[in-house]
Amino acid sequence: MKIVVVGDALVASSDLEKAAQELNVNEEVQVEKFEWYSDLSKEAFQEKILAIEKGGSEAVEIPAGICEALVDADILLVHIAPVSKKMIASAKKLRLIGASRGGMENVAVEAATERKIPVIHVIRNAEPVADFTVALMYAETRNIARAHLSIKNGRWDKGFSNDAYKTTLAKHTVGLIGLGYIGKLVAKRLNGLGVKVIAYDPFIDPKKLVDEGLDIELKGLHEVFREADIISLHMRVTKETTNMINAELIGMMKPSAYLINTARAAVLDESALINALEAKQIAGAAIDVFWEEPIPSHSPLLTLDNITLTTHIAGDTIDAIPHSPYLLRDVINDYFEKGVSDMQVNLKS
């Protein structure tokens, strides 16, 4: 069996190679390695990541010689290197594509689906993002970042724009939009803190949530926006979810409610959020993802006193990304054993 792996500046090709060698394929494995901008600094590599997140798999260069290597390949493993339509078209024998990350912007999933090639991925930083999401709930509702900023600026502020609504987290109802891997981890943490959790996800079986030991009440999208004190977004970016959280939905939120986004900026209508915050239509927001990164100096978000901003660091821990090939190995082996996987993004029966 031939497996092609593509390393980059964040995930070493040697780790992807080792993970490939540990797949349970019951035959001898031949690995061919490629590099995709592995020599770039982390900062320079972020520009390539942003290009992919904005333009998808066709927006960046593919590794030289990879199409030729894929002609007789059985499996392709990458981190964020592109898996373009051209690459998939050249892969005459390909049986599986694996990506050691959560977002699928770098993979031409539709092209893989047309060829009936399963695409498997992992949420490499799910635990860090879940932790960070709950931290943002505390930071925004209790003004932690704003108090810090006031001291750094020589003030001792005790009053904030959400003073009329301040209370403990346990007295809030949190509404999760999307119950994928990260959404469920956030729910698990909130369950442990005694926080009531409601959620919207039309693809989730309520019985499965019970089997997983999660206390979540599934509701309609409008119900969640009307009832929750904190809305937290956990959807992938698709044609259907782009700008899904719009002025209409935000307009349904309580004046005392907060909006948290650690998913992708594209799922949230930027103008709708800014307008709601400027008008004090909702109590506040906390976001770790932006429509343009770094955030432009002229952005209205920088003038607001009811938002917490962080620099897209929710998943940034020292171990999450380097370990991701081995998470992918485990998920693929589980898929080989069971024939199905929650981490399969296409061709689900």
349 assigned to some structural domain: no
The four Cα atoms 160, 165, 169, 174 give a dihedral, to 10 degrees, of -120
Q: Which two tokens stand for residue 320?
A: 């999450």
CA–CA gap between residue 155 and residue 204 (Å, rounded): 48
The DSSP bridge partners found for residue 286 are 260, 308
Cα three-residue angle 118-121-124, rounded to 5 degrees? 175
Which 3 state secondary structure label does DSSP give 178? coil
Verify that 120 and 142 share a domain, yes or no.
no
Give the pLDDT of residue 190.
Answer: 98
> Residue 117 — pLDDT band, cuts 50, 70, 90?
very high
145-149 mean pLDDT: 97
Quick one: 148 and 109 in the same domain? no
- Selecting among 293, 298, 323, 329, the annotated active-site residue is 293
The domain of 39 spans 2-124+321-338
Amino acid 349: pLDDT: 67
DSSP state for residue 303 in the 8-state scheme? G
Is residue 346 a part of any domain in this protein? no
Per-residue pLDDT tens for 167-198? 999 999 999 999 988 999 999 999 999 999 99
**Is the domain of 180 the same as that of 120?**
no
Same domain, 119 and 132: no
Q: Is residue 348 part of a domain?
A: no
Same-domain pairing of 85 and 133:
no
For the stretch 234-273, pLDDT in tens is 998 888 999 999 999 999 999 999 999 999 999 999 999 9
**Residues 85 and 213 occupy one common structural domain:** no
My answer on whether 87 and 216 are in the same domain is no
Name the least confident of 22-26, 137-141, 223-227, 234-238: 234-238
User: Tokens for 154?
Assistant: 């020589």
Indicate which residue of 28, 312, 323, 337 is catalytic.
312
167 and 94 fall within a common domain? no
Q: How confident is the model at residue 42 (pLDDT cuts 50, 70, 90)?
A: confident
Assess whether 293 carries a catalytic annotation: yes
Q: What is the pLDDT of residue 116?
A: 97
Estimate the crossing angle of helix 144-152 against helix 126-141, to 10 degrees.
70
Whether 195 and 325 share a structural domain: no
Indicate if 312 belongs to the active site: yes
Residue 85 within any structural domain of the chain: yes
Average per-residue pLDDT for the chain: 96
Residue 102 has pLDDT above 90, yes or no: no
**Quick one: 159 and 283 in the same domain?**
yes
Per-residue confidence (pLDDT) for residue 103, from 0 to 100: 86
Q: Vertex 273, ends 145 and 285: CA angle to 5°?
A: 25
**What band does 319 get if pLDDT is binned at 50, 70 and 90?**
confident
pTM of the predicted model as reported, rounded to 2 decimal places: 0.79
Dig out the tokens for 252 from the structure: 């349904």
Average pLDDT over residues 145-152: 97
Shared domain check, 300 and 183: yes
Is the predicted pLDDT of residue 229 greater than 70, yes or no? yes
Element (DSSP H or E) covering residue 104: none
Question: What's the pLDDT tens digit per position in 73-96?
Answer: 999 999 999 999 999 999 999 999
pLDDT > 90? residue 143? yes
- The pLDDT value given to residue 304: 98
**Same domain for 160 and 277?**
yes
From 146, 172, 234, 264, active-site residue: 264
Q: Within a domain: residue 14? A: yes
Please check whether residue 76 lies inside any domain of the structure: yes
Report how many domains make up the chain.
2
Query: Which tokens in the block code for residue 35?
Result: 């590099």
Does residue 191 sit within a domain?
yes
Helix (H) or strand (E) holding 218: strand 217-218
Q: What is the CATH number of the domain that holds 303?
A: 3.40.50.720
Confidence of residue 310 (pLDDT cuts 50, 70, 90): very high
- Least Cα distance to 68 among 118, 32, 21, 18 occurs for 32
Q: Is position 110 within any domain? A: yes
